[in-house]
A and B are shown apart, each in its own frame.
Chain A
Amino acid sequence: MPQQLIKVRPTKIELVKLKRRLSLAQRVQKIVKDRLSILTMEFLETARETMEAKEKLIGSFSEGYKALSLASGYHGYMALDKELIASEVDPKVIAGLRNIAGVRIPSFELRNNGKIMKGYSLVDTSSWLDYAAQLSKKCLEAIVELAELQKSLELLGIEINRAKRVTNALEYIIIPGLQVTINYLNMKFEERDREEKTRLKRVKMLIA
Chain B
Amino acid sequence: MPDLVYEKMLQKCVKGELRMVNAGLPRCRKTLSSLLGEEYPHVLCCDGSAHSFKMKELEYLANITSIDEQEVLLLPILIELAEDPAGAVIICEHKVEEHVISEVLNMPMVTVGGKLRIYRPQLVLLRKVLKTTTQYVFSSKIVV
A residues apposed to B, CB below 8 Å: 6-7, 24-25, 27-28, 30-32, 34-35, 37-38, 41-42, 45, 49, 94, 96-102, 104, 107, 109, 111, 166, 169-170, 174
Contacts and interface: CB of A to CB of B under 8 A. Distances in A.
Contacts of A6: 3, 7
Contacts of B51: 96-99
A101 B24 CA distance: 7
B143 interface: yes
A182 B81 CA distance: 31
Contacts of B3: 6-7
A30 B140 CA distance: 12
Interface string B7-47: 10010011001101111100000000000000010100100
A27 B140 CA distance: 11
Interface stretch (B64-72, B90-98, B108-116, B126-134): B126-134
Contacts of A31: 17-18, 21, 138, 142-143
Question: Interface range on chain B: under 10, 10 to 19, 20 to 34, or 35 or more?
Answer: 35 or more
Contacts of A27: 142-144
Contacts of B17: 28, 31-32, 166
- Interface class of chain B by DSSP: mixed
B10 A45 contact: no
Contact of A25 (B14, B45, B50, B142): B14
Contacts of B40: 94, 96
Contacts of B138: 31, 34-35, 101
B3 to A, nearest CB: 5
A99 B14 contact: no
